[in-house]
Amino acid sequence: MNYIWEVVGRHPTGQQPTGAETIQKLCDRVASSTLLEDRRDAVRALKSLSKKYRMEVGTMAMDHLVRILQTDRADTETLGYALDTLYNIICSDEEEEPEENQQKQEDDLGAQFTEKFIQEPDNITLLLTLLEEFDFHVRWPGVKLLTALLKSQCAPVQGIILVSPMGVSRLMDLLADSREVIRNDGLLLLQQLTKGNTAIQKIVAFENAFERLLEIITEEGSSDGGIVVEDCLLLLLNLLKNNSSNQNFFKEGSYIQKMKPWFEVGDDNSGWSAQKVTNLHLMLQLVRVMVSPVNSPGATASCQKAMFQCDLLQQLCTILMATGVPADILTETINTVSEVIRGSEVNQDYFASVNAPSNPPRPAIVVLLMSMVNERQPFVLRCAVLYCFQCFLYKNHKGQGEIVATLLPSTIDANSISAGQLLCGGLFSADSLSNWCAAVALAHALQDNLTQKEQLLRVQLATSLGKPPVSLLQQCTNILSQGSRVQTKVGLLMLLCTWISNCPIAVMHFLHNQDNVPFLTGQISENLGEDERLVQGLCALLLGICIYYNDNSLENYTKEKLKQLIEKRIGKENFVEKLAFITKHELYSRAAQKPQPAFSTPEHMLFDHEFTKLVKELEGMITKAVLRSSEEEKKEEEVKKTLEQHDSIVTQYKELIREQDSQINELKEQVALLTSQNEKLQNTTTQQFSQIQQHKDQYNILKLKLGKDNQQTGNQAEAAHVNGLQPEELSQLREQLEELQRQNQLLQTQLTEKDSLITTPGGDSVYTEKTAELESRLSAQTAETQKLKGEVKTLLESKELMEKELASATSTTAIMQAEKSKLQQEVQESKKEQDDLLMLLADQDQKILSLKQRLKDLGETIEDEDDLDSRDQFDDDDDDEEDDEECDE
């Protein structure tokens, strides 16, 4: 520390200065010194004090250190000291493990200094620029400082780097550094940089990160490599997890094929170091990221296909069946194989063909199921095997049939152990976890497969010597009624609910046993403890399925009678409350999140993921079916029938319109064909006319030519006569003249033929006949086209009319239904009014009678209504006679 006192000087009083005073003097020296050597010594002194006096250096010296980074770019040694000092105040690298409270204080202090440093975004940009410096003393502390900043304040620093020009690219250059320490620390930096930021993950991936990371893994020895391989795998997981774009880029770049050598572990499995186990565990996780059930189905399917084609699945199955593999690697391999084959028919078929290297060879499925029902195996391994079996049967009707077939009497082989025998053994063993796993596995063999649900009804079990065999369905209910553990009961109830749902025949078989319904109602109606409430809810679900999928084939257990039984023995509200308890259970919500069974302890294994989907689908329908009265059901059936009739009428109209549409389309095609033929005929006619015109032109040319030849011949003869030609010449000229005359006659004959061919109306004119024939065909086709257009127009009008009629019929039906309901309401109201009037009249009559009786009691003479009527009549007659007499007067 003597050089510090040389830099800052001694205290005036001779006493040793405090740390804060020393740091203040050093900061003054950094700020005021004009010589580079003085500033360098001061920064070096601050570095030596930064670990012990972290708070003081960070508070007083940070701004001076940033200024050094800006001004002294040429001196790499000073830059290195400044970067190291900033790293020390932001990140505490104490070798001793601090106490919990002290560690929290250190982290808070680092966060405060980081926040102060990144308040000015240019500081991060400056740091990125310094990383381009190749000097080791600048680049390495720069990488460590930026990593520390990301650890302390990840999201803000990521945001600054993301908007910085070429920021991510500069950091990717660290992977190409030839110095391993910088490359390795660069991996740690990129791990922090890519955490939870999809945009940065994409940029890093497109900066050729996959290629470079796979090269480093290969150079370092793949699974046998050291911690550098682990860092590369962690960075790959950051880039691929929950990032569909990078996953697609990884697959399209054929990087899945380059993963296969990682899993060639060899036959000698004795040397499994802790680092190798960690590396292989991360490699398996990387495979699972590409085929995770949470990915889009298309992306998962394409990755599964690629893994099968490059033999990666085959390599994983080899590890699965190998001996000497550590338990945690074996468990993770089983989980990985599960997701590689889940929902992929080709991969599932291959997995079904895999055999264990035993004597005799056994299918891998059988070997795995033996581990699942063996209570001595580790819990996590048994969960992994169950998940693998579920994934093998997921959307695999062929595999489901093969599993159920091993339980049928015709296919049972006494000399070998089958999957069905293992499942039955686990279903009825003394271990409740085996009961639950076997029940869930068997339920997956029936999932969404009506055929296998009906086939499983044929399975008969021999319970004991001398007693007749019982069905598998009945044996499950027998075990339920024997008071088993909660886990066993839950597993069997899930199996039964899955089995009989959407299968009326299985419902009938279940209800045929007279003890089943009383057992369920007894379970639901009892007041049991908290653990048994889940069993009550599942019993309510099973009874509800018996109601909802009941075809009323059993007279004693029709839908209506079962609902009456619930109302009488349990109460509808109580039944619905017990049913709703299933979805409120904490373990139900946990199981509904993802397909893989993830339980901390065996006691928590109560719900299966696929079963939670079934409960969600059935709960509302069963509640509605139980609460609905018979009258409401009848009304709903009537409404349903009315709607079906209406739908049938609409369907008929739709079919009629569809037929008319097809007819119109056919006519349109015919019109198009005739139009094309018409165009061809018009073209042919045009060609014929052009040929005739050519013949006329040839005729005119020949005429002109003949006239010229005659004129030339006459001129030659006259010239010979005038000039006194010799007799031989004259004879030659005569021969030429005769030859020309013969040619002239020949041409005349040809011209005559041509002229007759053109002008003769009734002769053998082929062209004229063809033209006339074409014109007649053209006119006929034009008329036919017009006729078809008229028919098309008529059909379109008919279609529009029928559509209007259909709309009118629909609206009329709705109006009539509204009027009907209105009239019914009016009739009910009028009936009510009439009843009220009758009541009033009856009351009045009673009052009149009572009044008459009182008058009689008082001695008054009361005339009956008949006497009053006759008296009234008599009075009317007297009045008429008086009126007549007055008229006479």
pLDDT digits (tens, 9 = 90+) for 724-749: 445 565 566 667 667 776 776 776 67
Between CA 387 and CA 307 the distance in angstroms is: 20
Establish if 14 belongs to a structural domain.
Answer: yes
Q: Indicate the DSSP class of residue 418.
A: -
Determine the pLDDT at residue 95: 46
Q: Measuring CA to CA, which residue among 618, 600, 598 is closest to residue 609?
A: 598
In tens, the pLDDT along 480-500 reads 888 778 999 999 999 999 999
- The answer to whether residue 335 is domain-embedded is no
Structural domain range at position 639: 629-717+738-756+765-848
As a whole number, mean pLDDT of residues 751-766 equals 49
Separation CA 507–CA 496 (nearest Å)? 10
Residue 775 lies in a domain: yes
The tally of domains found in the chain comes to 4
| Sign, Cα dihedral of 717, 718, 721, 725 | negative
Are 586 and 712 in the same domain? no
For range 679-683, the mean pLDDT: 80
Residue 384: pLDDT above 80? Answer: yes
* pLDDT value, residue 1: 45
Output the pLDDT for position 613: 94
State the average pLDDT for the chain: 82
> What's the pLDDT score for residue 26?
87
pLDDT score recorded for residue 745: 72
Residue pair 54/92 in contact by the 8 Å Cβ criterion: yes
User: Can you tell me the distance from the alpha carbon of 601 to that of 708, in angstroms, rounded to the nearest whole number?
Assistant: 122
Select the more confidently predicted residue: 73 or 154. 154
Q: Determine the Cα–Cα distance for residues 234 and 221; give it in Å rounded to an integer.
A: 16
- Residue 192 included in any domain: no
**830 confidence band (pLDDT: 50, 70, 90):** confident
Report which of residues 409 and 66 the model is more confident about. 66
Instruction: Give the pLDDT band (50/70/90) at residue 413.
Output: low
- The pLDDT of residue 728: 61
Pair 58, 111 in one domain: yes
**Cα–Cα distance, 867 to 174 (Å, whole number):** 128
The neighbour count for residue 482, using CB atoms within 10 Å, is: 9
Of 824 and 153, the structure prediction assigns the larger pLDDT to 153
Same domain membership, residue 689 and residue 666: yes
pLDDT of residue 696: 72
CA distances from 468 to 404, 406, 462 (A): 22, 21, 7
The answer to whether residues 532 and 680 belong to one domain is: no
Helix 516-525 with 472-481: angle, nearest 10 deg = 30
pLDDT at position 447 is: 94
Model's pTM, two decimal places?
0.69
Q: Can you tell me the mean pLDDT for 508-530?
A: 87
Q: Give the pLDDT band (50/70/90) at residue 22.
A: confident
Q: Measured between alpha carbons, how far is 528 from 843 in angstroms, rounded to an integer?
A: 59
Token pair recorded at residue 693: 């015109």
Classify residue 525: in a domain, yes or no. Answer: yes
Residue 356 is predicted with a pLDDT of 87
What is the model's pLDDT at position 499? Answer: 96
Is the pLDDT at 83 greater than 90? The verdict is: yes
Q: Are residue 615 and residue 649 in the same domain, yes or no? A: no
Per-range mean pLDDT, top range of 74-78, 722-726, 822-826, 879-883: 74-78
Residue 446 and residue 504 in one domain: no
Yes or no: say if 317 and 351 are a contact pair by the CB < 8 Å rule: yes
User: CA angle 793-799-800, nearest 5°?
Assistant: 90
Residues 116 and 61 occupy one common structural domain: yes
**What is the mean pLDDT of the segment spanning 799-818?**
67
Let me know whether 799 and 689 are in one domain. Answer: yes
Indicate whether 374 pLDDT > 60.
yes
What pLDDT was estimated at residue 202? 94
Q: Give residue-wise pLDDT tens across range 700-716.
A: 787 676 666 555 555 54
- Report the pLDDT value the prediction gives residue 879, as an integer from 0 to 100: 52
Q: CATH code at 675? A: 1.10.287
Listed range (141-145, 359-363, 682-686) with the worst mean pLDDT: 682-686
- Kindly report which listed range (314-328, 433-447, 861-875) carries the lowest average pLDDT score: 861-875
Q: What's the pLDDT score for residue 251? A: 93
Residues 2, 134: one domain? yes
Distance (Å, whole) CA 613 – CA 390: 15
**Which is more confidently placed, 157 or 703?**
157
Predicted pLDDT at 457:
93
* Residue 305 covered by a domain: no
Residue 115 φ then ψ, to 5°? -60, -40
21 and 142 part of one domain:
yes
User: 440: domain CATH number?
Assistant: 1.25.10.10
Contacts of 597 by beta carbon, 8 Å cutoff, 6+ apart: 383, 386, 387, 591, 605, 608, 609
In-domain check, residue 783: yes
| Confidence tier at 52 by pLDDT (50, 70, 90) | confident
Q: What is the pLDDT of residue 102?
A: 61
838 and 794 in a single domain? The answer is yes
The reported pLDDT for the residue numbered 708 is 62
Residue 240 CA to residue 286 CA, distance in Å, equals 8
Bigger pLDDT: 411 or 381?
381
Query: Which residue's entry shows tokens 């796979």?
Result: 214
Can you give the pLDDT at residue 165? 84
**What integer pLDDT is reported at residue 803 of this predicted model?**
63
Q: Do residues 157 and 118 lie in contact, with contact meaning Cβ atoms separated by under 8 Å?
A: yes
693 and 840 inside one domain: yes
Q: What share of the chain is helix, strand, coil (3-state, %, to 5)?
A: 80, 0, 20
234 band by pLDDT with thresholds 50, 70 and 90: very high
| Beta strand ranges found along 511-596 (DSSP E) | none
Amino acid 764: pLDDT: 43
Asked if the model's pLDDT at residue 318 lies above 70, the reply is yes
In 342-418, which residue ranges form alpha helices assigned H by DSSP? 345-353, 364-372, 379-393, 397-405
Average pLDDT over residues 61-76: 87
Collapsing DSSP to helix, strand or coil, 461 comes out as: strand
* Mean pLDDT along residues 393-404: 94
Per-residue pLDDT, 267: 57
Is 50 contained in some domain?
A: yes
pLDDT at 766: 45
- Give residue 56's pLDDT: 86
Residue 826 has pLDDT above 80, yes or no: no
Query: What is the mean predicted confidence (pLDDT) over 20-31?
Result: 86
For residue 585, give the nearest of 622, 661, 534, 626 by alpha carbon: 534
Name residue, tokens 């204080």: 105
Least-confidence region, from 161-165, 419-423, 635-639, 874-878: 874-878
Higher pLDDT, 657 or 388: 388
pLDDT at 779: 66
